[in-house]
């Protein structure tokens, strides 16, 4: 798909908006206002339909991506945003979670700025923060963790990094997009010195009605994901905080083959 990005700029703008992890009630007031005022909404597949329904008359374009299928390549998305803004439209680029946490918001903002397009950012509650709150897992806790790191499970070059610096005593590691590579992630962490008995939690569909939160030990991570049929979107929490989940057993389930003591 080709878009005309050579037309002289009009008075349009691009607003990168974080839609949050799923629950429409977690949308910020500023994000809600931007959605209502949009001429065009360009949205990811993870944006909850209830959020899109807030502006039923607004034109929408889905640029949903999955691990095996992209509706539109990233450079084409950039071109689309620029072209529509140059037609004078207020374009809301609506993203699940937060635009600047594994949302390619930085790339899109850079493309708009380079093209002379006015761009602004409205942050959203990230998938990690929303999911952890829903499962009542504190990502930091004065007794066990004073640092938290976010990584992408499919990030280029991550396998060459020393994962021991990301997880271990006193630290929490949150992994996005790690369901498909969970076996390799666990193997890498253990090979780099993280204890096989380190508690982990997997939060699936965080904050949504079908949310699940499961916990086990690092050595059982890949097996548990297969056993429980975990699907994306999901985040993996590695660290002692995963054993301190405060939610009811009906929500935060202990994997049957592992023993984790809160």
Instruction: Determine the Cα–Cα distance for residues 182 and 170; give it in Å rounded to an integer.
Output: 22
Query: φ and ψ at 34, to 5 degrees?
Result: -65, -40
Say whether 23 is catalytic. Answer: no
Instruction: Determine the Cα–Cα distance for residues 187 and 217; give it in Å rounded to an integer.
Output: 12
Nearest to 128 by CA among 106, 96, 171: 96
- Give the pair of three-digit tokens for residue 160: 């060459």
Nearest to 121 by CA among 147, 101, 145: 101
Say whether 44 is catalytic. Answer: yes
Instruction: Determine the Cα–Cα distance for residues 200 and 216; give it in Å rounded to an integer.
Output: 6
Are the beta carbons of 96 and 104 closer than 8 angstroms? no
3-state secondary structure of 159: helix
Query: φ and ψ at 50, to 5 degrees?
Result: -70, -25
Instruction: Determine the Cα–Cα distance for residues 41 and 6; give it in Å rounded to an integer.
Output: 22
Are the beta carbons of 11 and 88 closer than 8 angstroms? yes
Q: Given 44, 48, 98, 220, which residue is catalytic?
A: 44
Q: Given 4, 23, 48, 65, which residue is catalytic?
A: 65
Instruction: Determine the Cα–Cα distance for residues 238 and 236; give it in Å rounded to an integer.
Output: 6
Catalytic residue ranges: 44, 65
């Amino acid at each position: 798909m080709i878009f005309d990005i050579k037309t002289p700029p009009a008075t349009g703008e691009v607003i990168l908006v974080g839609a949050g992890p799923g629950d429409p009630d977690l949308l910020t007031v500023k994000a809600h206002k931007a959605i209502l005022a949009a001429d065009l909404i360009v949205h990811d597949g993870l944006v909850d339909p209830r959020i899109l329904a807030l502006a039923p008359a607004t034109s929408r374009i889905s640029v949903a991506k999955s691990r095996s299928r992209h509706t539109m390549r990233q450079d084409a998305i950039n071109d689309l945003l620029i072209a529509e803004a140059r037609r004078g439209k207020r374009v809301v680029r609506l993203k699940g979670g937060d635009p600047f946490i594994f949302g390619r918001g930085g790339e899109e903002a850079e493309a708009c700025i380079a093209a002379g397009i006015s761009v602004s950012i409205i942050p959203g509650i990230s998938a990690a923060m929303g999911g952890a709150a829903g499962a009542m897992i504190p990502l930091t806790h004065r007794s066990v963790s004073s640092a938290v790191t976010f990584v992408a499970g499919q990030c280029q070059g991550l396998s060459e990094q020393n994962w021991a610096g990301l997880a271990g005593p006193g630290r929490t590691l949150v992994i996005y997009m790690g369901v498909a590579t969970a076996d390799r992630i666990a193997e890498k962490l253990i090979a780099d010195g993280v204890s096989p008995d380190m508690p982990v939690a997997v939060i699936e569909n965080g904050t949504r009605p079908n949310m699940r939160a499961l916990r086990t030990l690092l050595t059982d991570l890949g097996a548990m994901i297969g056993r429980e049929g975990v699907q994306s979107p999901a985040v993996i929490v590695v660290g002692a905080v995963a054993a301190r989940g405060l939610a009811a057993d009906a929500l935060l389930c202990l994997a049957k083959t592992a023993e984790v003591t809160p």
